[in-house]
Amino acid sequence: MVDGITPDTTSSHGGLVNGPVSEIYNEILPLILDAVIIFIGAYILARVISFLLIRLSEHFGHARIAVRMIVPILNIIIYTTAILLLLHQIITLSTIEIVAFSGLFGAAIGFGLKDVFANIIGGVIIAFEKPFRIGDRITMGEHYGEVAEIGMLDTRIVTPDDNYVTIPNFKIITQSVASANAGLTEMMVVIDIYIDHSADLDRAITIFKEAVVTSRHVYISDRCFYTILTENQLHSVRLRARAYVWDLRDEFECKAEISRRTKRAFQQEGILPPRYYVPGEMPELS
């Protein structure tokens, strides 16, 4: 090698081999590395912020769901920023190239990435329209549970049986979703108790009402009221209480506690549970 002259890698025989290799080595690999670093960074940042906010929200008592609402919005902002950063690293396009790129991009979405983008759009709708929030009790399709996480692509709920169910976000567009508490910590619970036709109905209603209002889980306010309804059925009288549990996490404990205490009081007062009546038999009324 003569001093001052650099070797021409493209014109030699080695250029055919070294050209693509060096291109991969010098340009594509750093891009991939950048992409990996950006996405890992975004992922870690999103996880850390989500973790901190969810932990912090526990200190806010009944306002915790409002704090958790920020999590999906922040996730979207973080991941969108990561994607924009990456695009900025890869391409700088003219207007014509943007139009061409958009067409190709649209076709790619239409054919291959349809579901992925439907999920992302679903995630954006969930984050901004808030049909439900992290911490809500929702019914989506056949699944019922507490929303544990709203991701870019899917929503995860924990069922009462402690199953972790992942639901794609696009289902928010295609299915109806019922939120039992709509962003609040209190939610209505319905408790049914059945008594015999011959039982003292007024006494039973008084006991049931007192079981509801003295429950440690029940919350009553102008908005959160309670009612006791009765319905005559073939073999029994159904007493139905509608009341608000102060924290939706206690939904089942609230129902169980009120039912247990009511049953004990009914036993003490001699209020009988329903029994099977032979058709034509008239129950003895108290």
Partner 1 sequence: MTGDPADSSEVITPASCTVFQKEFAEIQGVIDAYRSHKRENVAIIGLPYSGKSTLISAVHETYKDDTYLVEYESQITNKRNLLDYRSKKPIFLMDGCQYLFSRHIGGFSVLDDFLDEVAISNSLFITTWNLYAWNYLRRVREVERIFPKMIFIHPLSDTEMRECILKDYTDAELQFIGGVEVELPSFVRTERHPVHLPFKEEPLMVPFPRFNVDSLAFRKRNAEETLSDEEVVFKKITKMAEGNPGIGKAIWKRSFDYPTVNLKDYQPVRVNDPLIRKDAFILGVIAMSGITSKEYLEEVAALEYDINPILYRLLTLGIISEKNGGYQICPEAILGVHDLLRSLRIIWE
Q: Which residues bind partner 1 (CB under 8 A)?
A: 61-62, 186, 207, 210-211, 213-214, 216-217, 219-221, 246-247, 250, 257, 260-262, 264-265
Cβ 208 to partner 1 shortest distance, Å:
9
Query: Among 107, 114, 109, which residue's Cα sits nearest to residue 170?
Result: 114
CA dihedral (118, 119, 120, 122) positive or negative: positive
Return d(Cα 135, Cα 97) in angstroms, integer. Answer: 44
Which C-beta is closer to partner 1: that of 186 or that of 196?
Answer: 186
Cβ 60 to partner 1 shortest distance, Å:
8
Our CA angle for 164, 128, 75, nearest 5°, is: 60
Q: What letter represents residue 125's amino acid?
A: I
For residues 115 and 153, is the Cβ–Cβ distance under 8 A? no
Return d(Cα 165, Cα 155) in angstroms, integer. Answer: 8
CA dihedral (44, 46, 47, 52) positive or negative: positive
Which C-beta is closer to partner 1: that of 156 or that of 249?
Answer: 249
Cβ 258 to partner 1 shortest distance, Å:
10
Tokens of 102: 């958009």
Which C-beta is closer to partner 1: that of 264 or that of 275?
Answer: 264
For residues 71 and 49, is the Cβ–Cβ distance under 8 A? yes
Cβ 167 to partner 1 shortest distance, Å:
30
Which C-beta is closer to partner 1: that of 143 or that of 209?
Answer: 209
Which C-beta is closer to partner 1: that of 99 or that of 213?
Answer: 213
Cβ 243 to partner 1 shortest distance, Å:
11
Cβ 209 to partner 1 shortest distance, Å:
9
Q: How many residues are recorded in the chain?
A: 286
Cβ 242 to partner 1 shortest distance, Å:
15
Cβ 253 to partner 1 shortest distance, Å:
9
Which C-beta is closer to partner 1: that of 143 or that of 263?
Answer: 263
Burial class (CB in 10 A: 0-12, 13-18, 19+), 127: buried
The per-residue b/e assignment along 195-212, b for 16 or more CB within 10 angstroms, e otherwise, is bbbbbbbebbbebbbebb
Which C-beta is closer to partner 1: that of 62 or that of 275?
Answer: 62
Which C-beta is closer to partner 1: that of 45 or that of 182?
Answer: 182
Dihedral angle computed from the Cα positions of residues 64, 67, 70 and 74, in that order, rounded to the nearest 10 degrees = -100
SS3 helix, strand, coil % of the chain, rounded to 5?
50, 15, 30
